[in-house]
Structure 1
Amino acid sequence: MNNVDTQQSTPEAALAASGVDGRSVRWEAHRGERRRELIRTARHAVHQLGADASMEDIATAAGTSKSVFYRYFGDKAGLQRAVGEMAIAHLQQKVLAAAQTAGTPRQGLFNMVDAYLQMAQTSPNVYAFATASHAGDAAVGPASGPLGHFFDAVATMMADTIRTHVGTAGPHLLGYWPTAALGLVRSAGELWLAAPEGPGKPDHTVLAEQITSWLFAGIAPDMA
């Protein structure tokens, strides 16, 4: 009796009792782990080789063949989206956590911009690879591709925090501000990433402070 009870309590017995194919579940788990492993190796390869790395270059760096990557991701655009989703998930955690440590809306905005710039600067090759637009995307802009969920979350947080700063004045027009602000942050950040190193290039903190000032006070507040 005890042996029977023990056998019936195993995961395999539970799956069998529920009508689920245990081999299929294990295969899906294995496939999911293999996919995550390929994404990690692709991310490392792009970091080392550059955003223009080919599927063959990435596969060679991963110690496998192109056919394996095509099997899991379909094409290079599929791999870019997968790498983007992993990178953006990490970026989103950092940016939103940075905002939550702020005492004022302005400080919150600065923290978000600064965290975004730091993360992009950590691996500009991966950033460029992950955020590249694809011919099949329905839209091209701040909310397209794997950046979509990230910018949606940040836009919501920005709207909530800025509302505490300006109150309810112009509630309908206020809805345009987060998307417009994110467009400025992303465009300025990508220009900064592409700029050659030198004495004229600000560090991420200086640029974040400047962008925050533009968003809160405008480009020439004394002339308004």
Structure 2
Amino acid sequence: MLQREPAAPTPSSAPGQAVDAAGAGPAIGEQPDGATIDGRSARWETHREERRRALIKAARRAIHRLGPDASMEDIATTAGTSKSVFYRYFGDKSGLRQAVGAVVIKQMQDTLAAARQKATQPREGVTAMVAAYLEMAQTSPNVYFFATIPADGEGRPSGELSGFFDSVTAMITEPLRHLLGDPESTLLGYWPTAAIGLVRTTGELWLQAPVDTAKPDSAAMAQQISAWLFDGVGQVLSASPTTSTTAEG
């Protein structure tokens, strides 16, 4: 059953109080004393923000069930409201994607930062952050892909996602300064950025892979990605029985 959107607080004005152009009641900051914020306006803004947060939460649950390609109408129906309500609060599907992305990305940033803080060595920190990233994405691949589908259609991260990977690049860069020798070296800018590409691409392939006995769990996948980043593929190949037999033959 669809929920009706709560009505806005009824506007009114008392003598001497200014009313804004939209007729929403006394304009903020225009009371006779010039200092008091209108209480009705403040309550309405609080209501709108609370309603917006509730809609984002409901949208995440709906997307988790429906998949990242769900339409606004299906998302609204599953969330128990109408499509017009989502358009009123978010403008369009891109606006909803940005709103969901902002919440998801903030949670991931906080989790990755906490994982890094617990580590004592650069490699340990990177491995912990990769593991945290994979674990969070795995809790709902549908929501992850909905929030991270590039808006420009060209495969580049945008909006909240772009800022997220920028912040993760910075988190990876700092503990690696002493490993690269010269803190001012231009090489410092290459490795972390390339590492982000490897982590994201590998992680998303891992998320989409079917679950079977051959699929590693998040911890094992994080260890493998970290090995590729720090040791390169050469050591992985040299440890392979097939490669060793071929080299000896």
Q: Structure 1 length normalisation: TM-score?
A: 0.86
Q: Paired residue for 2:118, among 94, 101, 105?
A: 101
Preserved contact between residue 110 and residue 212 of structure 1 (Cα < 8 Å): yes
Q: Paired residue for 2:168, among 140, 144, 154?
A: 154
Preserved contact between residue 131 and residue 145 of structure 1 (Cα < 8 Å): no
Please name the residue that 2:228 is paired with. Answer: 214
Q: Does 1:63 align with 2:80?
A: yes
Considering only CA atoms, is the larger Rg found in Structure 1 or Structure 2? 2
Preserved contact between residue 105 and residue 164 of structure 1 (Cα < 8 Å): no
CA distance in 2, matches of 1:38, 1:77: 15
How has the CA–CA distance of structure 1 residues 166 and 201 changed in structure 2, closer, same or farther, with 3 Å as cutoff? Answer: same
Q: Deviations over 1:119-140 (max 9, x none)?
A: 00010010011101113x8x74
Q: Provide the aligned length of Structure 1 versus Structure 2.
A: 207
Q: Name structure 1 gaps, 5 residues minimum.
A: 1-14
After the TM superposition, list the runs of 4 or more consecutive aligned residues in structure 1 that deviate by more than 3 angstroms: 221-224
Q: Which amino acid aligns with 1:190?
A: E
- Which structure features the higher share of helix residues? 1
Q: Which amino acid aligns with 2:108?
A: L
Please name the residue that 1:11 is paired with. Answer: none
Aligned-residue offset at 1:207: 1.0
Please name the residue that 2:182 is paired with. Answer: 168
Q: Does 1:30 align with 2:47?
A: yes
Q: Which amino acid aligns with 1:151?
A: F
CA distance in 2, matches of 1:60, 1:199: 37
Q: Deviations over 1:143-190 (max 9, x none)?
A: 423212221221111111111323217711211211110010000000
Preserved contact between residue 68 and residue 142 of structure 2 (Cα < 8 Å): yes
How has the CA–CA distance of structure 1 residues 76 and 222 changed in structure 2, closer, same or farther, with 3 Å as cutoff? Answer: closer
How has the CA–CA distance of structure 1 residues 189 and 42 changed in structure 2, closer, same or farther, with 3 Å as cutoff? Answer: same
- The 5 Å alignment of 1:1-224 reads 17=33, 18-135=35-152, 140-141=155-156, 143-168=157-182, 171-221=185-235
Preserved contact between residue 72 and residue 93 of structure 2 (Cα < 8 Å): yes
SS at structure 2 position matched to 1:175: helix
Please name the residue that 2:22 is paired with. Answer: none
Preserved contact between residue 72 and residue 83 of structure 2 (Cα < 8 Å): yes
Q: Which amino acid aligns with 1:215?
A: L
CA distance in 2, matches of 1:109, 1:222: 19
How has the CA–CA distance of structure 1 residues 69 and 221 changed in structure 2, closer, same or farther, with 3 Å as cutoff? Answer: same
How has the CA–CA distance of structure 1 residues 146 and 108 changed in structure 2, closer, same or farther, with 3 Å as cutoff? Answer: same
CA RMSD of aligned residues (A): 2.0
Q: Name structure 2 gaps, 5 residues minimum.
A: 1-28, 239-249
Q: Structure 2 length normalisation: TM-score?
A: 0.78
